Structure 1
Amino acid sequence: MFIADGMQARVLDPGQECKTPTIDGLISRGVRVTRAHTPLPTCSPARASLMTGLLPHNHGVLEVEHGVDADQCVLRTEHPHWAQRLRDSGYATGYFGKWHVERTGELEPFGWNTFDIRGARDHANASQKGLAADDSMDPDTVRFYEGPDGYNDTLKYAVTDVTPNDRAIGGPAGLACEWLDDRREDPWCCVVSYYEPNESLIVGREAYELYDVDSLELPKNLKDDLSDRPNIYRRDQQIWNDVSDDEWRQILACYYGRITELDGQVKRVLDKLEATGQLDNTVVIFTADHGRYVGSHGLEAHNFGAFEEIYNVPLVVAGPGVAEGITTDALVGFHEIGQTILEVAGENPIDVPDSASFADLLADPVAAADNHREAYAEYFGSRFRLTQRVLWQDEWKFVFNGFDFDELYNVKADPWEMENLIDRPEHADRIREMMAGIWRRMHETGDTTLLNSHYHSMRFAAVGPNSGQ
């Protein structure tokens, strides 16, 4: 399993400008799920959900673990991880690259016999302080996020002459390839995990020059004024108001270039599997913990907003028992991947109500599509506290915002989410039904904080908690 960081699902759509020949090859021989969603669009909560099959309110990691005090965002260790199940049944397990699930950095208790997450803590510390430019970077391409006074200047993007294999992006694949050399006879599970394409957009010249910066298409919702969305979205948008169209194209070129470099790292591992005769007997998964705006809605990063650019993540699966060359718009959760791995491996699932396997969808996407018509996510804020719950039902998406007014989108008719339908009277019944659906999810998964909001000054929702029972 390859786990990217901060990668939009949309970049894999046919006709998109981002070049991903290796991942495209996986799509052609497997299943692409176009509507996979992260349970929370921030690294640590999403990755903890991936490992446990739990929603964040149940595993305890509600935001990035390195950004809060040591007694906050602590992973609840009483819950089993799917990797433990595989290890205990005889699988060799290896994890290489970004972890960002909990603080110890000791992965063996969580099911990983072999692990190497070197550089993870250094990277987290550097991202807090602001990454610096170095002599390998073309000075004409180096740009920083600057000001206001009192904030660290943070590297925005840069082009470097150092090749991917000699930069941090090359580390996880190299470690995985070494480990796979010794795994030819035994069943195994390997995770290759990345910081890319998130954080500062440092890209190698070769990948960068694949893109004609001046001709790159800007997001169709770049100029969204967010006038009918929560005010905090507009406050965040103000940070990016001085970014010109030309600079957005520069950002996109570096973002796409990093994804192209990541695609090359996937190829390194697949080539190793093919060279060792293991590719045809290996299930390969490519996904990401969350997306990134890169100009969509006039925003960057992934800290505010409930838009598809940060919730919708890439998901491609190929290998034995998986249908070939099919794209499905069924709804699944990033946190359900572990349950799916267990079923594919013939193991018992983790007994939790938060997630379920979608192995049936991989085997027969057409027949199983109706089993996967709803998805759910939650958000607690990142440094700045706020409450969101998100429900997808077919083409409809409802966002409950405990801090502001709600959102309703038809993502089929309005894929760029430019029109909030929440105040349209013709959708009043749908809003009540979808809010009841959110309460139902809370009851099923024990989301007690919001279930205990009967107090009269907290009655913000269209219908109350009892409607979900």
Structure 2
Amino acid sequence: MSPRNILFLMTDQHRVDTLGCYGNPTVTTPALDALAADGTRFDRFYTPTAICTPARASLATGLHPFRHGMLNNPERNGGSKDELDDDAPLLWRRLQDQGYRVGHVGKWHIGRERGPEYYGLDGEHLPGALNPFHHPSYEKWLAEHRFPPFAVADPVFGTAANGTGRGHLLAGRLRQPAHATVEAFLTERTLGLLERYAAERQSDGAPFMLSCHWYGPHLPYLIPDEYYDLYDPADVPLPASMAETFAGKPDVQRRYSEYWSADAFDADAWRKLIAVYWGYVTMIDHQVGRLVAALKRLGLWDDTAVFFTADHGEFTGAHRLNDKGPAMYEDIYRIPAVARVPGAPAGRVCDDFATLTDLNPTLSDLAGAPRPERCDGSSLLPLLSGTPAAGGERDQVVAEFHGHHFPYSQRMIRDRRHKLVHNPESTHELYDLRADPHELHNVYDAPAYAAVRRDLTARLYGELQRRGDPAYSWMSYMSDIGGDRAADVDGVAGEVS
């Protein structure tokens, strides 16, 4: 494929089951559904870690989180890096070296101080994890258009687990019209860059990569009435995993449920919260549609690849949890991913495993840029073209987690039927996703699954060792991997007498 323009769209904390193209019969997402119909929908797409900053850093660098070292969000940093290394193999630099104009609008969250301008991108650093309602640029835009300022009515709060009163803000009615929201503001900025790039491309032929990263549907769900009340809570099914008892699970999951006061809301309240979350998804889908329409209006549609994905998912009541956190369930690790590349087959559904890390070399290949020496991902272009992946079918995925709110280390391996979660200081987890798709029953200690447990443990150990992830050294001594499969730790165990 020849170098293409690239429009890269990303949401934050986005569940797969909120999109029509992924099977939701109620939520209206026509723009994203149309992209999927015109391109490829990935059904087994995962985040390398379900936390914003490290996931986004893996997209930017093509490296596993433990390799780029940004393991936590800056707001809750447990001692890891605050910024990328200066010599990190950044996607944007490779594209710039290929003559691409590169722009970024919206959520950045890769580091504390350095924003897109630091790396030579067109765009403004909007710091933080949540919608920048009080950022000077947004407030100036509101004033210029005589839009009403940010204000929220009927806020929905949790309850602090220690009895001290109010917990986290989860939702509220935004007293602004939809065209005055931060989502609309970010879309307007993206449209401005898109029109500029289109004009400059006509004069010098230079391609572009333009990213628009919305902050939603991350909680709190602060959206206008028209979307807040768009879906009838009576049409919302509760997650089956709300039947979670935490029996046989790491105790941190129960504590995290208390932290988010998930049980403070009854079934009707949860249906309303989920309905509002769905409304948020539809509101963002409308903005996606505006950008796609602009590509067509500007004559760029036939020469622009469009990618859509999220940094991670969200619980939204699943497993009696909220937000994301120290539990490697599908709700927060499996994410939506749609890619539409001109000339590639349309209407495809890809069943191979893939991750955000793979998008880095994919975009490099699409731009005709050389592959970096340091890259942990593999290009998805063969899959988008409908050809077999190099090295055969992608039949497993490995993910890692290093903590959010507090340090907490986990590793996961998932294949087409089973998932093993290695919790070094706690209860390990094993789920049969065919028999138990909602991951309610931990069968790690079940005799019938002993062979599965040993096989997945050995496979996880081997993959961590191959990657150089230090987590493998603990497994060398503490996991059921079999004496014939445990390598000498750091290559010195057999040399010490």
TM over 0.5: yes
- The residue type equivalent to 1:312 in the other structure is R
Q: What are structure 1's unaligned runs of at least 5 residues?
A: 127-133
- Measure, in 2, the Cα distance between the counterparts of 1:316 and 1:286: 5
> CA offset at residue 333 of structure 1?
0.8
**Residues 384 and 96 of structure 1, relative CA distance in 2, 3 Å threshold:** same
Tell me, yes or no, if structure 1 residue 6 matches structure 2 residue 13.
Answer: yes
- The residue type equivalent to 1:200 in the other structure is P
Please name the residue that 2:474 is paired with: 453
Tell me, yes or no, if structure 1 residue 158 matches structure 2 residue 172.
Answer: yes
The equivalences for 1:70-89 within 5 A come to 72-89=81-98
**Residues 319 and 145 of structure 1, relative CA distance in 2, 3 Å threshold:** same
- Measure, in 1, the Cα distance between the counterparts of 2:37 and 2:397: 25
Q: Deviation per CA, 1:124-165, whole angstroms, max 9, x where unpaired?
A: 899xxxxxxx984443xx211233455764322112241233
The secondary structure found in structure 2 opposite 1:253 is helix
Q: Is the 8 A contact 2:159 2:264 kept in 1?
A: no
Tell me, yes or no, if structure 1 residue 281 matches structure 2 residue 303.
Answer: yes
Q: Is the 8 A contact 1:386 1:403 kept in 2?
A: no
Q: Which one of the candidate residues 108, 113, 116 is aligned to 1:107?
A: 116
- Measure, in 1, the Cα distance between the counterparts of 2:401 and 2:224: 34
The secondary structure found in structure 2 opposite 1:114 is coil
Q: Is the 8 A contact 2:248 2:427 kept in 1?
A: no
Please name the residue that 1:48 is paired with: 57
- Measure, in 1, the Cα distance between the counterparts of 2:443 and 2:351: 22
- The residue type equivalent to 1:143 in the other structure is V
Tell me, yes or no, if structure 1 residue 414 matches structure 2 residue 432.
Answer: no
- Measure, in 1, the Cα distance between the counterparts of 2:23 and 2:132: 34
Q: Which one of the candidate residues 27, 31, 34 is aligned to 1:22?
A: 31
Q: Which one of the candidate residues 230, 233, 236 is aligned to 1:210?
A: 230
Please name the residue that 1:187 is paired with: 207
Q: Is the 8 A contact 1:390 1:398 kept in 2?
A: yes
> CA offset at residue 426 of structure 1?
3.0
- Per the normalisation by structure 2, the TM-score is 0.85
**Residues 99 and 350 of structure 1, relative CA distance in 2, 3 Å threshold:** same
Q: What are structure 2's unaligned runs of at least 5 residues?
A: 1-7, 135-148, 488-497
> CA offset at residue 446 of structure 1?
1.7
Q: Is the 8 A contact 1:353 1:444 kept in 2?
A: no
Q: Which one of the candidate residues 330, 334, 337 is aligned to 2:352?
A: 330
The equivalences for 1:141-290 within 5 A come to 142-147=155-160, 148-150=162-164, 153-184=167-198, 185=201, 186-238=206-258, 239-290=261-312
The secondary structure found in structure 1 opposite 2:352 is strand
Whichever of the two has the greater Rg, that structure is 2
> CA offset at residue 380 of structure 1?
1.2
> CA offset at residue 34 of structure 1?
1.3
Q: Is the 8 A contact 1:306 1:399 kept in 2?
A: yes
- Measure, in 1, the Cα distance between the counterparts of 2:315 and 2:328: 11
Structure 1 runs (4+) deviating above 6 angstroms are 365-369
The secondary structure found in structure 2 opposite 1:284 is strand
The secondary structure found in structure 2 opposite 1:329 is strand
- Measure, in 1, the Cα distance between the counterparts of 2:327 and 2:190: 35
Q: Is the 8 A contact 1:22 1:266 kept in 2?
A: yes
Tell me, yes or no, if structure 1 residue 375 matches structure 2 residue 397.
Answer: yes
Please name the residue that 2:340 is paired with: 318
Q: Is the 8 A contact 2:98 2:368 kept in 1?
A: no
- Per the normalisation by structure 1, the TM-score is 0.90
**Residues 149 and 466 of structure 1, relative CA distance in 2, 3 Å threshold:** farther
- Measure, in 2, the Cα distance between the counterparts of 1:324 and 1:222: 37
Q: Is the 8 A contact 1:454 1:465 kept in 2?
A: no
Please name the residue that 2:71 is paired with: 62
> CA offset at residue 194 of structure 1?
1.6
- Measure, in 2, the Cα distance between the counterparts of 1:121 and 1:295: 21
Q: Which one of the candidate residues 409, 414, 419 is aligned to 1:387?
A: 409
- Measure, in 2, the Cα distance between the counterparts of 1:444 and 1:108: 36
Q: Is the 8 A contact 1:90 1:187 kept in 2?
A: yes
Bigger Cα displacement from structure 2, 459-468 vs 419-428: 459-468
- Measure, in 2, the Cα distance between the counterparts of 1:21 and 1:464: 51
Bigger Cα displacement from structure 2, 93-102 vs 396-405: 396-405
- Measure, in 2, the Cα distance between the counterparts of 1:442 and 1:368: 21
- The residue type equivalent to 1:332 in the other structure is A
> CA offset at residue 298 of structure 1?
1.2
Q: Is the 8 A contact 2:223 2:280 kept in 1?
A: yes
Please name the residue that 1:131 is paired with: none
Q: Which one of the candidate residues 439, 443, 451 is aligned to 2:465?
A: 443
- Measure, in 2, the Cα distance between the counterparts of 1:210 and 1:122: 23
The secondary structure found in structure 2 opposite 1:371 is coil
> CA offset at residue 116 of structure 1?
2.0
Q: Which one of the candidate residues 385, 408, 415 is aligned to 1:363?
A: 385
Q: Deviation per CA, 1:425-454, whole angstroms, max 9, x where unpaired?
A: 232222222222222222222212x24437
> CA offset at residue 315 of structure 1?
0.3
Please name the residue that 2:492 is paired with: none
> CA offset at residue 9 of structure 1?
1.4
- Measure, in 1, the Cα distance between the counterparts of 2:192 and 2:284: 18
- Measure, in 2, the Cα distance between the counterparts of 1:393 and 1:386: 23
> CA offset at residue 30 of structure 1?
0.8
- Measure, in 2, the Cα distance between the counterparts of 1:95 and 1:323: 28
- Measure, in 1, the Cα distance between the counterparts of 2:323 and 2:361: 29
Bigger Cα displacement from structure 2, 320-329 vs 306-315: 320-329
- Measure, in 1, the Cα distance between the counterparts of 2:111 and 2:163: 32
**Residues 22 and 335 of structure 1, relative CA distance in 2, 3 Å threshold:** same
Q: Is the 8 A contact 1:439 1:465 kept in 2?
A: no
Please name the residue that 2:142 is paired with: none
- The residue type equivalent to 1:226 in the other structure is F
Number of paired residues? 455
